[in-house]
């Protein structure tokens, strides 16, 4: 069972079964993740808490995966707090339209005060908090040398320290309950093939992934489970480049644009677009998060991969997670590979 | 040739040859890295710039790998600037004792001003800068939840933003020269087996490694080469735990020390000590850095691994670096897998 959790989960809808360590190529032109997979159905039959309404907070829910996940989770019957820096009417409209228990809540991951207030509000309303989905995320694009250290710090603040602030606010409640789930939205770029000009961004995602892995082991005996979602590059629907930060040092960026690196950006963007299926749908990532959350406690996958551009992350993470499992077994901590079932 | 560079380099002195993708177990009780390896000797015979005195700056040279590398490089005949926050008499004494061209220079990686001044001083004295060794490093030990976001930011500042500051000061000169080398001291914990209570530290090293990989591709056409050194856990000589940061949130740390996680720290430390050979010598890492620098431009390894505790990082990095090479080949950027030879 432990080895199952530490195998990368590549769901291949075309074949209707797992291909744990193989790369999945897209042949039908749609993202090959389906949530009526045998694995999901199996878990559902045996689950004790399957179908139970969970209290969930999602960070960075104003756009991208966070927004899609909030909506999908609410439509699946959960109580969802779509947290974002500034709430808009959009969440309320969606909730009304779908009769969903979905609430917008102001939470700025850059401020511990704001995070504390939002999490306290959720707990006081429900006397419970079951799941945290870490999806607050900023991207950046350009030659690494042209970013100031302040820009790198800013990215780290949103993508890593934001999760740390939310964890520090939420984990005392989850540990007190003796059961909970952290879902981290990582990136295939932390371990798979890495195109140029995403260095500062990948640095933060690699850090977030490493932190998620450490937390997984440290929280297991408190009854807290971890699932790391590893999306590849989705060119549609997530506004991947639209909101990307650009280098503040324009002089340095210009040197790269005029120098021997002049065509790197164009080749990279054209190449990535050609590799990924143009209709890879980020909604499937949100649907998979719903399925992970509906999977019984203790049986959830450690990672779920999506590789529209087939960049190798599933294989690399498979080897890395296995090395981690082996080390923990060797030093006598194999029990923290899975969450303890308390009570 | 390209594939050779992107294979993890595990030097196995016991057999006197490479074992590129295998884990090296320590059977003789000493670290199995020897710098008279066939690989190194081969390169030396063909090298055009072999034996040439290089102008080198090493960050974090007051202790650990930085200090050992500075001393070893100076003894090997290079001009070395051992940079540190506060210089001491120790460097001068070593230089005198060994008639080495070794200089202590004040450089605080936390301050762009300090970094700029030091790098400018080195360039103005030598009209040249060939190699930057990024080894400034702080460690931290304790449950992730008990560290404040400010502590995580501080660690990132030293371990990642420090390298960014030094790069931004040094790279214009290296790019102008059309030839140079960046050596990054990463950690096997970013990709290999990860014991608990090192989350905030591993997060920064994973980020640093990701940034190094991105820079490697972006700098290749400017004639700048990259070698990433991946030491495992050395319990001797580097004061690994002595200077570790501890969690600022004592209440939270206490909860972990008293809770179901009460024995995690003891098991981890005992386990790691039992896994690693007690006499694994960090000097061998410094010696390998000397050999990498003395290897001809364009032939240096992308990574050099040392795994006293056999944690799997060489295998994981091997797969990851291969995935990267494949992606760059697929999108038509295979040339940036190796530095361009300019002029």
**Is the minimum CB–CB distance between A218 and chain B shorter than 8 Å?**
yes
Q: Do residues A82 and A64 lie in contact, with contact meaning Cβ atoms separated by under 8 Å?
A: no
* CB nearest A145 (choices: B161, B167, B252): B167
Task: Please name the residues in contact with B93: beta carbons below 8 A apart, sequence gap of 6 or more.
Answer: none
Is A202's CB within 8 Å of B221's CB? no
3-state secondary structure of B113: helix
**Pairing state of beta strands B17-18 and B9-12?**
antiparallel
Is B313's CB within 8 Å of A333's CB? no
Q: Which of residues 175-204 of A touch B (CB under 8 A)?
A: 175, 190-200, 202-204
Q: pLDDT averaged over chain A?
A: 84
B96 CB-contact burial (10 Å; exposed 0-12 / middle 13-18 / buried 19+): exposed
pLDDT digits (tens, 9 = 90+) for A43-96: 434 444 555 899 999 999 999 999 999 999 999 999 999 999 999 899 999 999
For residue A93 the two structure tokens come to: 């409209």
DSSP per-residue letters across B201-256 = HHHHHHHHHHHHHHHHHHHGGGTEEEEEEE-----SSS-TTTT-B--S-HHHHHHH
- Tell me the C-alpha distance between B48 and B296, whole Å: 6
pLDDT digits (tens, 9 = 90+) for A119-156: 999 999 999 999 999 999 999 999 999 999 999 999 99
Q: At what angle do helices B313-330 and A313-330 cross, to 10 degrees?
A: 180
ipTM tops 0.85: yes
Classify the C-alpha dihedral B320-B324-B330-B335 as positive or negative.
Answer: negative
Nearest CA in chain B to A221: B260
Q: pLDDT averaged over chain B?
A: 84
- Tell me the C-alpha distance between B145 and A98, whole Å: 37
**Is the minimum CB–CB distance between A228 and chain B shorter than 8 Å?**
no
pLDDT digits (tens, 9 = 90+) for B214-224: 999 999 999 99
**Is the minimum CB–CB distance between B329 and chain A shorter than 8 Å?**
no
Torsion of CA A183, A186, A191, A192, to 10 degrees: 110
Residue A236 confidence (pLDDT): 54
pLDDT digits (tens, 9 = 90+) for B267-317: 988 887 777 666 678 899 999 999 999 999 999 999 999 876 678 899 999
Q: Which of residues 35-64 of A touch B (CB under 8 A)?
A: none
Which of A328, A307, A302, A332 has the alpha carbon at shortest distance from A209? A302
Mutate to test the interface with B, among A176, A182, A193, A274 (most CBs of B within 10 A): A193
Helix or strand holding residue A236 (H, E): none
**Is the minimum CB–CB distance between B165 and chain A shorter than 8 Å?**
yes
- Tell me the C-alpha distance between A191 and A317, whole Å: 7
Block residue for tokens 């195109």? A195
pLDDT digits (tens, 9 = 90+) for B106-132: 999 999 999 999 999 999 999 999 999
Mutate to test the interface with A, among B159, B167, B177, B203 (most CBs of A within 10 A): B203
Is B323's CB within 8 Å of A340's CB? no
Q: Do residues B84 and B61 lie in contact, with contact meaning Cβ atoms separated by under 8 Å?
A: yes
Which residues of chain B does A148 touch, with a Cβ-Cβ cutoff of 8 Å? Answer: 168
pTM: 0.87
Residue B309 confidence (pLDDT): 66
Residue ranges for chain A with pLDDT beneath 70: 1-51, 234-243, 276-279, 308-309
**Is the minimum CB–CB distance between B326 and chain A shorter than 8 Å?**
yes
**Is residue B52 predicted with pLDDT exceeding 60?**
yes
Residue A66 confidence (pLDDT): 97
**DSSP, res A140:** B
Task: Please name the residues in contact with B53: beta carbons below 8 A apart, sequence gap of 6 or more.
Answer: B77, B78, B79, B101
Question: Residue B10's pLDDT band (boundaries 50, 70, 90)?
Answer: very low
Which residues of chain A does B215 touch, with a Cβ-Cβ cutoff of 8 Å? Answer: 144-145, 199
- Tell me the C-alpha distance between B210 and A190, whole Å: 7
Residue B279 confidence (pLDDT): 67
* CB nearest A323 (choices: B160, B192, B214): B192
């Amino acid at each position: 069972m432990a080895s199952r959790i530490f195998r990368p989960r590549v769901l291949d809808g075309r074949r209707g079964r797992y291909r744990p360590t193989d790369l999945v190529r897209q042949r039908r032109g749609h993202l090959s993740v389906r949530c009526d997979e045998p694995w999901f159905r199996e878990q559902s039959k045996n689950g004790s808490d399957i179908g139970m309404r969970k209290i969930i907070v999602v960070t960075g829910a104003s756009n991208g995966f966070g927004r899609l996940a909030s909506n999908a989770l609410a439509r699946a019957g959960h109580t969802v707090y779509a947290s974002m820096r500034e709430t808009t009417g959009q969440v309320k409209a969606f909730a009304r339209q779908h009769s969903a228990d979905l609430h917008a809540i102001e939470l700025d991951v850059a401020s511990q005060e704001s995070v504390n207030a939002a999490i306290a509000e959720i707990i006081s309303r429900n006397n419970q908090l079951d799941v945290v989905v870490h999806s607050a995320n900023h991207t950046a694009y350009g030659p690494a040398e042209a970013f100031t250290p302040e820009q790198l710090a800013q990215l780290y603040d949103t993508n890593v320290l934001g999760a740390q602030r939310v964890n520090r606010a939420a984990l005392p409640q989850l540990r007190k309950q003796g059961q909970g789930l952290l879902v981290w939205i990582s990136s295939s770029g932390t371990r798979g093939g890495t195109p140029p000009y995403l260095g500062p961004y990948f640095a933060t995602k690699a850090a977030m992934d490493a932190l998620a892995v450490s937390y997984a082991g440290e929280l297991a005996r408190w009854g807290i489970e971890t699932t790391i979602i590893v999306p590849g590059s989705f060119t549609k629907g997530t506004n991947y480049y639209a909101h990307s930060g650009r280098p503040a040092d324009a002089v340095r960026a210009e040197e790269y644009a005029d120098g021997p690196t002049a065509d790197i950006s164009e080749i990279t963007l054209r190449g990535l677009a050609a590799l990924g299926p143009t209709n890879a749908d980020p909604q499937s990532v949100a649907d998979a998060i719903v399925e992970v959350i509906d999977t019984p406690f203790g049986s959830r996958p450690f990672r779920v991969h999506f590789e529209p551009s087939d960049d190798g992350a599933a294989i690399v993470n498979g080897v890395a997670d296995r090395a981690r499992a082996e080390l923990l077994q060797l030093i006598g901590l194999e029990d923290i590979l899975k969450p303890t079932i308390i009570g």
